[in-house]
Chains A and B, each alone.
Chain A
């Protein structure tokens, strides 16, 4: 119970931090913000790894492994595409980047 309250406390603080940090992002960066935060929501990968962890092969591990695949698409794709977009913003006239 103590741990639950501590986690709840952390949760409430995170709500405030989230609103505070994100409400200042200018509209020009809304799409990268979204795909970047989208990648962060792939943090559920941690849960997926824990579920997929045990060596004995059961339905629960299989579900975990499927979750790992989808969470990884979310994480890797999200960060990669955000970087791709932000690269375009950085690009100056006449200068090419990959």
Chain B
């Protein structure tokens, strides 16, 4: 009877996860979806606590309390700009928890495990540990503690391959002979090192892909834990997350026109150095302008498309731009926002930042929808975006970003670029858009610039 109750509860919570994720398809229902998924999690936790072998209540309560407090405080105080690294770190924690569960199960009952279970335990340990250390490094890179540019050194791929083979070998040893505890720890250590080494060569621009991929790994680690404990609830939930991570990874790769293998093992940094040698990075014929001039350009426009990039987030200009857009709209100008899929540092990041600034979400347009509109647009206002507007992606086959889908900003009748300097973006290359005869540059910090322009527009 108790078994029946417990299994039913796991089924209910798995259904709530699926239904919750489904509701996330629509902006209006998404919050309910999140709530239902949380209820599903609560049910799963409560029912696990009444399992006959779970009796260590005092310590469990303390651990749950510590984790919950850290989680809730972190979630409350994190600025929206730092969302990618927080999600990245949470992925890592999920991976770590899965690795620890596999480890604990192995130490407790490794000797009596079947070959199947041992295999899963080793996989769980491996994926969990890679997820944890990889996410921690991704966190460091995004937070700025660690060098953001790709770190490359000789024999990088060979070393990674050798380490993978070594941990595979030790894993097989443990599976064949569960008493080989030392081999188990070697697998744990090697996979932890491997997580770091795999993320090291990946640059800041590719972080959206890495975060999505690690998200998927954390789900897979959970799914593997489910097989270790033979718990179907865990299997279903872990698999859902694994699938969602893979889909987002695919979308991100497509938006950058690169294969996953290319992001993970590619030589983005190297191509860019070679390019830099052959091609001058100097800009000629760049026109600089004042806030007043920008205000006049905007004043005469019927339609303005705002193209926000990470620079907008970095200078916290999202509120200022929201205000400027509102003033323009009040004067009868049509204002739209063009959101590149990799704008920001994680999938959908820019939408969140603009939503925080109370920009109505029906003004945010996806790349494919907005691109044909640039030709009929009077002003494209680019703020802190660089690589995603670079026409080289369309017309320079030698460029490292050639083939990447971009926003066709250069098709607009006039272009205003707000940027601190002419420094290159993540890809480290020159952007011919800045030299375009239709382009005027306004050099300043994003927020300061937008505030000045807003002031001038009000004065007109």
Contacts and interface: CB of A to CB of B under 8 A. Distances in A.
A83 B247 CA distance: 22
B21 A14 contact: no
A76 B240 contact: no
A46 B54 CA distance: 11
Contact of B104 (A29, A35, A60): A60
Contacts of A34: 87, 211-212, 215, 244-245, 248, 346-348
Nearest to A56: B56
B62 to A, nearest CB: 8
Q: What range describes how many residues of B lie at the interface? A: 35 or more
B222 A72 contact: no
Interface string B185-225: 00000000000000000000000000110010011011101
A71 B34 contact: no
B104 A51 contact: yes
B93 A70 contact: yes
B27 interface: yes
Interface residues of A, number: 81
Contacts of B28: 90
Contacts of B243: 14-15, 17-19, 22
A84 to B, nearest CB: 6
Contacts of A47: 97-98, 101, 105, 222, 225-226, 228-229, 231, 234
Interface stretch (B278-286, B356-364, B383-391): B356-364
Contacts of A15: 239, 242-243
A26 B233 CA distance: 27
B225 A44 contact: yes
Tell me whether chain A's interface is mostly helix, strand or loop, or mixed. Answer: helix
B359 to A, nearest CB: 10
Contacts of B31: 83, 86-87, 89-90
B340 to A, nearest CB: 10
B351 A31 contact: yes
Given A14-B235, A43-B233, A46-B233, A32 B227 contact: no
A73 B351 contact: no
B122 interface: no
Contacts of B44: 43, 45-46
Interface in A2-41: 3-4, 6-7, 10-11, 14-15, 17-19, 21-41
A61 B75 contact: no
Contacts of B327: none
Nearest to B86: A81
A48 to B, nearest CB: 5
Which of A14, A47, A63 has the most chain B CB atoms inside 10 A of its CB?
A47
B165 interface: no
Interface centre among B86, B97, B215, B223 (most CB of A within 10 A): B97
Nearest to A72: B67
A65 B71 CA distance: 16
B45 to A, nearest CB: 6
A55 B235 contact: no
Contacts of A45: 41, 44-45, 48, 97
Nearest to A92: B360
B426 interface: no
B43 to A, nearest CB: 11
Contacts of A60: 104-105, 107-108
Contacts of A92: 360
Contacts of B104: 51, 59-61, 63-64, 67
A65 B248 contact: no
Most chain B beta-carbon neighbours within 10 Å: one of A11, A35, A55, A83: A35
Contacts of B68: 72-73, 76
B226 to A, nearest CB: 8
B322 to A, nearest CB: 10
Looking at B22, B223, B248, which has the most chain A CB atoms within 10 Å of its CB? B248
Contact of A86 (B34, B51, B91, B233): B34
A81 B238 CA distance: 20
Ranked nearest first, the 9 interchain pairs of A and B with the lowest CB-CB distance are: A72-B67, A18-B243, A30-B348, A77-B71, A76-B71, A53-B54, A30-B347, A80-B75, A14-B239
Interface of B: 17-18, 20-22, 24-25, 27-28, 30-31, 33-35, 37-38, 41, 44-45, 48-49, 51, 53-56, 59-60, 63-64, 66-68, 70-72, 74-76, 78, 80, 83, 86-87, 90-91, 93-94, 96-98, 100-101, 103-105, 107-108, 116, 211-212, 215, 218-219, 221-223, 225-248, 251, 339, 341, 346-349, 351-352, 355-356, 358, 360-361, 364, 366
11 contacts: A18-B242, A30-B248, A32-B348, A33-B348, A48-B97, A49-B45, A50-B229, A69-B67, A70-B67, A75-B41, A77-B75
Interface of A: 3-4, 6-7, 10-11, 14-15, 17-19, 21-55, 58-61, 63-93
Given A60-B107, A76-B75, A88-B356, 17 more contacts: A11-B223, A14-B236, A22-B21, A32-B30, A35-B90, A36-B37, A37-B219, A40-B237, A49-B54, A65-B59, A65-B60, A72-B63, A77-B86, A78-B75, A86-B30, A88-B355, A91-B355
